Structure formats: structure tokens, C-alpha cells
Amino acid sequence: MEHFINIITDTFDKHIDNIAEGLSILDNHYLTESCDEYIVYDTVDNKQMIKIPLTRELTNEEADNAAETLSIMFTQFGYTDFDIEISGNPEGDI
């Protein structure tokens, strides 16, 4: 199973060059080898999504910490309307 973090917003035109640097503040033991390994997609509803691959499934605590860190980072970059999705075990804790 592929594990990932998705961040979805209208557009990533603000501070797109700083995203990789910002991702380095996440705990690197669950990111892929390069924290700048991410892909920007256009969604079917005309939004943009950044997909960040993970090396493994995160625990609930790790996912909460990652979501909080990313939320703070994107708010500081000036984003006010975004969603964060983190892949996980649909049955709860691993």
C-alpha cells in the first residue's frame, strides 16, 4: 500500500519554492529520502494537490503531529483554505 500526505487548496501559487524547505521540518524518518520529493496535481474540481510520499504508514500520533505542523506552515505561507489528508489504516491504530 502506498502511504502519503495530500495538501489540497485552490492554488499553490504562493511560496511554492519554499514548500520543499518547509517539508524538511517534518520528522524525516517517515518521509522518503528526499523531502523535496513531492508532486503537484490538478484535481477534477479545479484545485491543486501536493502529494508527499511516505516511507510507511504513520501512527495516529505521528499523523496528528504532521497535520498540525503542515497546518501551521501553510497558514504562515498565507493559505487560509486548505485540506490535509494523511493515508492510514481505516480500522484505526496500527
Percent of the chain that is helix, strand, coil (3-state, to 5): 25, 25, 50
- How far apart are the C-alpha atoms of 32 and 35, rounded to whole Å? 7
Burial class, 20, CB count within 10 angstroms (exposed 0-12 / middle 13-18 / buried 19+): middle
Express each pLDDT in 40-86 by its tens digit: 889 999 999 988 888 888 889 888 988 998 899 889 888 889 999 99
Give the H/E segment covering residue 8. Answer: strand 3-9
Q: What is the pTM of this model?
A: 0.79
CB 3 within 8 A of CB 58: yes
- Say if 34 falls within a structural domain: yes
Express each pLDDT in 3-45 by its tens digit: 898 999 988 776 666 776 667 666 566 666 555 577 888 999 9
- Say if 93 falls within a structural domain: no
Q: Which domain holds residue 38?
A: 3-86
- Say if 32 falls within a structural domain: yes
Number of domains in the chain: 1
- Say if 94 falls within a structural domain: no
Q: CATH number of the domain at 69, please.
A: 3.30.70
